[in-house]
Amino acid sequence: MSRGALDPAAEQAIAWMVRLRSGRADARQEARFERWLAQDSANLQAWEQLQRGMGGHYEVARRAPQVLRDTLLQPQMRRRDVLRGLGGLTLLGGALWLGAHSDSARMLTADLRTGTGERRTVTLVDGSRLSLNAGTSLDIEFSANQRLLRLYQGALVIQVAPDATRPLLVRTEQGDARALGTRFLVEQLDGATRVVVLEHSVRASVPAGAWLDLAAGQAAVLRGARVELASDSQQYRADWLEGRLSVLDEPLQAVIDALRPYRPGLMRVDPEVRNLRVQGVFPLGDSERALAALEDTMPIRVRRYGSWLTLIESR
């Protein structure tokens, strides 16, 4: 499954929205925007749908010289950051303008899903106990031969009910985590999957055929054709069950990614500070306090623009 597979006109509309709101748009940039609108009726339609979906919060006064003169974004923006941030905007509501067949639509119509700041625990029909982190979506496919959970985004922890005739698998874009009578975590990352065994054992595998059996306390990342064993224990990654984000020498970008499901709107980290190393424990239920703690202890500045945009930049 290709994550973030949007219609080209929709992607371009999002990119133009951010450029024109950046405070750096000049007459030449605005003229290019006008030409883009005129190139194809699909471009105009995508732009109008974006404005309607944002409820007017992203309305751009075309040809106007004063467009948010405060610097909101660096010019070297990455499309993936913009798309990921927009995926968390509550302003979109139920208007699935990204398309009924997009990955975003699939996530929003999944069997189980959690919203911004929402964690949820359910008992499945087989007796397994499933906990979902915020911003998680998955489908449940149980049959006479197997129990399958398709994880599209986010993270889960499952306490698997024993069933000798039906193995339980958690399947992501990168591969499978298979277990019988165990407790483990699976997290969909950007282009990879993390598996952490909390009790007993799990077999992690990728479609290319590589596999690895993991014991309690072990973790692995599924990436491409490889199953990469982690060198240290990763059990702290399940601390979100208790409302905590525990960080042991992680880049700032990874910390912000973990906070995204707990904060509405777009969050963007300046490339200059993305790789700063972070260590600490942060409250997931209070993203403002978590950001304040990062700002107090690191050479960064957090800029907030209402509920729809948070920028983390070099101080």
The pLDDT value recorded for residue 80 is 42
Give the residue extent of every domain in the chain: 8-107, 116-237, 243-314
Per-residue model confidence as pLDDT tens digits over 120-164: 999 999 999 999 999 999 999 999 999 999 999 999 999 999 998
Cα 133 to Cα 3, 117, 206, 241, 253, distances in angstroms: 19, 8, 23, 7, 19
CB atoms near residue 23 (< 10 Å): 13
Q: What does the mean pLDDT of the chain come to?
A: 81
186-204: average pLDDT = 96
* Predicted confidence band of residue 43 (pLDDT cuts 50, 70, 90): confident
CATH class of the region 243-314: alpha beta
Q: Determine the Cα–Cα distance for residues 255 and 85; give it in Å rounded to an integer.
A: 14
Q: Determine the Cα–Cα distance for residues 210 and 121; give it in Å rounded to an integer.
A: 32
- The amino acid at residue 261 is P
Written as one string, the DSSP assignment of 45-103 is: HHHHHHHHHTTTTT---TT-S-S--S--S-SS--HHHHHHHHHT-GGGTT--TT-TTSH
What architecture does CATH give domain 116-237? Sandwich (2.60)
The pLDDT value recorded for residue 3 is 42
pLDDT over threshold 90, residue 87: no
Q: Which of 177, 179, 182 has the alpha carbon at shortest distance from 206?
A: 177
Per-residue model confidence as pLDDT tens digits over 107-122: 667 899 999 999 999 9
Global pTM reads 0.69
Least confident of 33-47, 77-91, 132-146, 202-216: 77-91
Three-state DSSP at 172 gives: coil
pLDDT over threshold 90, residue 11: no
Q: In residues, how long is the chain?
A: 315
Written as one string, the DSSP assignment of 177-244 is: EEESS-EEEEEE-SS-EEEEEEESEEEEE-TTS-EEEEETT-EEEEETTEEEEPSS--GGGGGGGGTE
* End-to-end Cα separation, the chain, in angstroms: 38
28-39: average pLDDT = 82
Provide the 8-state DSSP code for 160.
P
Residue with tokens 């064993």: 229
Assigned token pair, 99: 């398309």
**Backbone CA torsion sign across 20, 25, 27, 31:** negative
Per-residue model confidence as pLDDT tens digits over 217-262: 999 999 999 999 998 889 999 999 999 999 999 999 999 999 999 9
